[in-house]
Structure 1
């Protein structure tokens, strides 16, 4: 038997052990994930409504500001280009 044959034989013998280790790691990861999900504290309906409303209001305000800035810049550039 040559060196390469011995290495192949050892590799073949270790394959099932490596597969079992990978399966155990996956199982442990899913168990950890399940435990983390149990620790999550979900907000109540009132909190979700308040925070969602705040997000929508801020989004609308920012949209109006951006639209106004766009209008002012466009108008200013049009005036500058008309002069020249």
Structure 2
């Protein structure tokens, strides 16, 4: 009896999942490409800002260390 209940639950779950998948509105290729480009550009800009800040922090700390010696 417990096996039948599990099978019914599993069948119900797949039916509901199929129903929910039909409700999804997928974006078109143009939008996906544009959004991907935006994400890559923002990632590069943020990475460059972090890299520049890291460069100045390292040089600043090295400068302080040389003055303290």
Q: Please, what TM-score do these two structures have when normalized by structure 2? A: 0.95
Deviation (angstroms), 1:74: 0.1
Equivalence for 1:70: 54
| Runs (5+) with no aligned partner, structure 1 | 1-16
Q: Which residue of 1 aligns with 2:29?
A: 45
Which has the larger Rg? 1
Length, aligned pairs only? 68
Alpha-carbon distance in 1 for matches of 2:7, 2:42: 47
Does residue 58 of the first structure (1) align with residue 51 of the second (2)? no
Q: Cα distance, 1:53 vs. partner?
A: 0.7
Structure 1 runs of 4+ aligned residues shifted over 4 Å read: none
Structure 2 distance, partners of 1:62, 1:55, is 11
- Note the C-alpha offset of 1:67: 0.1
- Which ranges in structure 2 are unaligned for 5 or more consecutive residues? none
> Quick one: distance in 2 between partners of 1:26 and 1:55?
38
Deviation at 1:62, TM superposition (A): 0.4
- Post-superposition shift, 1:39? 1.0
C-alpha RMSD over aligned residues: 0.6
